[in-house]
Structure formats: structure tokens, C-alpha cells
Structure 1
């Protein structure tokens, strides 16, 4: 019983903290995300590719050959 009461208090405290989080409308959040993507799209390696293969972390590693 005491453990259940403590768990309920913990949940209640968490819900109070979450209620204080500032919120914005979904339409505003979408506009902000679109703006961010448009502003930072030129820096995105997945969209534009890599400047050289040396900076590409997904490049094929050198294989070890046994003579």
C-alpha cells in the first residue's frame, strides 16, 4: 500500500512538471521546422553528399589483405 502511494505521488509530481512545460500550436511548430530545414539544408551531408570520401563516416573501410 505504501509503495503504491509513493508511486502515485511520483506520477503526480511528474505530471505537475509536465504541465509547466511551455507549449506551442502544431501549426507553429511545423512552420518552425520548415524554416529550420530550409536554413540548414545546405549543411546536411545526407542531402548534398560529402565534400570528399575522407569525411564520409559511412565509406567502405580499407580491407586487410593477407599475402
Structure 2
């Protein structure tokens, strides 16, 4: 019973914290995300590629050779 009461109190505290978060409309959030993506597309390696293979974290690693 005490564990259940403690759990309900922690849920209540979490809901109070979430209620205090400022909200914006979905359309405004979408516009902000689109602006961010467009402003940073020059830095996106998945769109523009990498300057060299050495900086590419997705390149295939060299194969392991048995000595």
C-alpha cells in the first residue's frame, strides 16, 4: 500500500512538471523545424557527402586479417 501511494505521488509530481512546460501549436513547431533543417542543410553530411572518407563514420572498416 505504501509503495502504491509513493508511486502515485511520483506520477502526480511528474504530471505537475509536465503541465508547467510551455506549449506551442503544431503548425508553429513544424515551421520552426523546417527553418532549422533549411538553415543547417549545408552542414548535413548525409545530404552533401563527406569531404574525405576518413571523416565518414559510416565507412566500412578495414577487414580483419589473421596473423
Same fold (TM over 0.5): yes
Q: Which residue of 2 aligns with 1:10?
A: 10
Q: Which residue of 1 aligns with 2:52?
A: 52
Q: What value does the CA root-mean-square deviation take over the aligned residues?
A: 1.5
List runs of 5+ in structure 1 lacking aligned partners. none
What does residue range 34-49 of structure 1 map to in structure 2 within 5 Å? 34-49=34-49
How far off is 1:63 after superposition?
2.4
Between the two proteins, the alignment pairs up a number of residues equal to 67
Q: Which residue of 1 aligns with 2:28?
A: 28
List runs of 5+ in structure 2 lacking aligned partners. none
TM-score, normalised with respect to structure 2: 0.89
TM-score, normalised with respect to structure 1: 0.89
